[in-house]
Structure 1
Amino acid sequence: METQEIAKRLVDYCRKGDWDSAHKELYANNAKSIEPYATPAFDQETVGLKAIQEKGKKFDGMVDQMHKIDVSEPLIAGNTIAFTLAMDVTMKNQPRMTTPELCVYQVKDGKIVSEEFFV
């Protein structure tokens, strides 16, 4: 799959909050995920598709209500994809909040090999 097609599919999945389908279809088995910083819930870096899928399931389990997800159109430079993602979300036992971030993905051999989030 070409980077442009991966970007379109990824944005479509993110707009629906369907992280699991994105992981299954678009990610390499050795992909890595990098958060801006470690938290009590998540390490800063997660390596391997199975671990990334578990991270996504854990995040979904922490959500009380997803009110809205805004995802910009992707920017593509070579094998790099970037877009903004803002979730209007209420996490369990937390007040409602908006979490804007810049998402950057690297593609190699038709699969996403890394994702990194910036706040």
Structure 2
Amino acid sequence: METKEIAKRLADYCRKGDWDGAQKELYADNAKSIEPYATPAFSKETIGLNAIVEKGKKFDNMVEQMHGIEVSDPLVAGNSIAFTLAMDVTMKNQPRMTTPELCVYQVKDGKIVSEEFFV
């Protein structure tokens, strides 16, 4: 799959909040996920598709209600993909908030090999 096609499919999955679907279809088994910083819930870096899928499930279990997700059109440069993603979300035991971030992905051999999030 070409990087432009991966970018479109990834953005579509993210607009639906279907992290699991995106990861299982588009990510390499040895993919890496990098958060802006470590938190009590998540390490700064997660390596391997299975660990990334588990991280996604953990995030979903922390969500009380997802009110909306906005994803910009993706930008593609070579094997890099970037878009903005903003979630309007209520996490369990927390007030409603909007979480804007820049999402950057690297593609190799038709699969996403890294994702990194910036706030």
TM-score greater than 0.5 by the shorter chain = yes
Which whole-Å CA distance do the structure 2 matches of 1:16 and 1:98 have between them?
Answer: 16
Give the Å deviation of 1:77.
Answer: 0.3
Secondary structure of 1:61's counterpart equals helix
Q: Distance in 2 between matches of 1:111 and 1:50?
A: 15
TM-score by length of structure 1 reads 1.00
TM-score (normalizing by structure 2):
1.00
Q: Which runs of no fewer than 5 residues in structure 2 stay unpaired?
A: none
1:40-79 mapped onto 2 (5 Å cutoff)? 40-79=40-79
1:95 Cα deviation from its structure 2 partner = 0.2
Q: Hey, what's the Cα distance between the residues in 2 that align with 1:21 and 1:35?
A: 20
Separation in 2, partners of 1:81, 1:26? 13
Q: Does 2:114 correspond to 1:108?
A: no
- Equivalent in the alignment of 1:6: 6
> Secondary structure of the residue that 1:114 maps to in structure 2?
strand
Post-superposition, which runs of at least 4 consecutive aligned residues in structure 1 deviate over 3 A?
none
Q: Report the identity percentage.
A: 86
The residue aligned with 1:30 is 30
| Distance in 2, Cα, partners of 1:62 & 1:117 | 18
